[in-house]
Amino acid sequence: MTKKIYLDNAATTPIDPAVLEVMMPYLTDFFGNPSSIHSHGRKVKSAIENARKTVASLLNTSPGEIFFTSGGTEADNTAISQSVATLGIKHIVSSRLEHHAVLHTLEHLEHAGKIKVTFLENDSQGVLDIDSLPAILENEPNSMISLMHGNNEIANLLDLHKVGEIAREYNALFHSDTVQTMGHYAFDLQTLPVDFIVGAAHKFHGPKGVGFLYINANHRISPFIHGGAQERNMRGGTENLYGIIGLAKALELANAELQEHQRHVKGIKALMIQELKDKIPGVQFNGRSADVENSLYTVLNVSFPEHPDNEMLLFNLDIEGISCSGGSACSSGTNQGSHVLNALNVDGGRANVRFSFSRFTTEEEIRQAIQILQRIFTA
């Protein structure tokens, strides 16, 4: 049987064996409830706080600014909705290219009459008109900017420092969905002008169902989930103990060899770009994903030429043992296509596929995938 090739790491990454190893004792021996005052509870409560310190240290911030969540979606929802509820935000500037965790939250709040939303314009490559921010914010007090760091479909990167400085100048809050870039880029929250960022462990070889929200200590928001005093009264619900342990270890491993991981994955991406150009005439790339040095290096969005079997391309690739996607995994099963590519007015007659890589992706897998793609498009 041909070895299956996994090229959908933007959806989720395989768990690192070293992460699973540190999680296992908290699935078996150390099972206490962190809220219990007896020794079983104290043992695991201490482990959670050590994990919090690890995450905070890696981001160069205080443990008191890190709050564990069920993942990136909850973290995004909390930052946005509770800033509106607690901090008096009435206007949010965002883009049509955001993840639905942000877009659907904005839609809900706007329909409820709680905020006004302004979307930045983007060009055909998905580049946002950041220079229009000052004019937008000048006449809109009580504003927040919510823009993702690295786009999960077209790999465009946002200049966090530039946007953050504009936010500071106009007294706006700045929230960035950093789910795709956490664990792949270094973050220094002592110098980065941001109020909220988020992480999800399964995007950097940790377990699913756990993430975190960074809240700048200058802000105090109300809980999004009620029901208990966990997370220093910020999130009700018994903690995902082993998930939190795994998240901290995964982020630690990601940062320990960050430059080597970047070098390897950029090489993988560059190889696939060149092989696609050489082997499949008419291939194009969406957004800025083919700019290896200036895009999210884990993601490549490929536009294949028109072909009779284009509608079945993802299905046929799956049959051939290649796992990839047409866009965000959170939107799979819909018939509306990618909202990101729609916003770029991408040619609907072509087949658009997102390939995404990790430090476990090999050159051999890329070359094998190219052979399969070449056979499909030359048949």
CA distance 376 to 379: 5
Name the band, by pLDDT with cuts 50, 70 and 90, for residue 311.
confident
- Three-class SS of residue 17? helix
CA distance 71 to 320: 32
pLDDT in tens, 316-333: 999 999 999 986 555 444
pLDDT in tens, 344-375: 988 777 899 999 999 999 999 999 999 999 99
Given this model, what pLDDT does residue 310 score? 82
Q: What is the value of pTM for the model shown?
A: 0.95
Given this model, what pLDDT does residue 76 score? 98
Q: How much is the mean pLDDT over the chain?
A: 95
CATH architecture of 5-14+257-377: Alpha-Beta Complex (3.90)
Name the band, by pLDDT with cuts 50, 70 and 90, for residue 309.
confident
- Three-class SS of residue 210? coil
pLDDT in tens, 147-179: 999 999 999 999 999 999 999 999 999 999 999
- pLDDT exceeds 80 at position 58: yes
Q: Is 330 a catalytic residue?
A: yes
CA distance 6 to 337: 22
pLDDT in tens, 178-227: 999 999 999 999 999 999 999 999 999 999 999 999 999 999 999 999 99
CA distance 19 to 115: 41
Domains of the chain, by residue range, sit at: 5-14+257-377, 17-256
CA distance 327 to 342: 11
- Look up residue 8 and give its two tokens: 């959908």
Q: What angle do CA 61, 151, 358 make, to 5 degrees?
A: 80
- pLDDT exceeds 70 at position 255: yes
Name the band, by pLDDT with cuts 50, 70 and 90, for residue 334.
very low
**Which residue among 117, 225, 270, 330 is the active-site one?**
330
Given this model, what pLDDT does residue 348 score? 73
User: For residue 207, which of 60, 347, 18, 39 has the smallest C-alpha distance?
Assistant: 18
- pLDDT exceeds 90 at position 230: yes
Given this model, what pLDDT does residue 329 score? 56
Given this model, what pLDDT does residue 42 score? 96
- Three-class SS of residue 95? strand
Given this model, what pLDDT does residue 346 score? 86
With respect to CATH, is domain 17-256 assigned 3.40.640.10? yes
CA dihedral 228, 233, 237, 240 (to 10 degrees): -150
Q: Give the mean pLDDT of 108-116.
A: 98
Given this model, what pLDDT does residue 363 score? 98
User: For residue 27, which of 39, 44, 14, 15 has the smallest C-alpha distance?
Assistant: 44
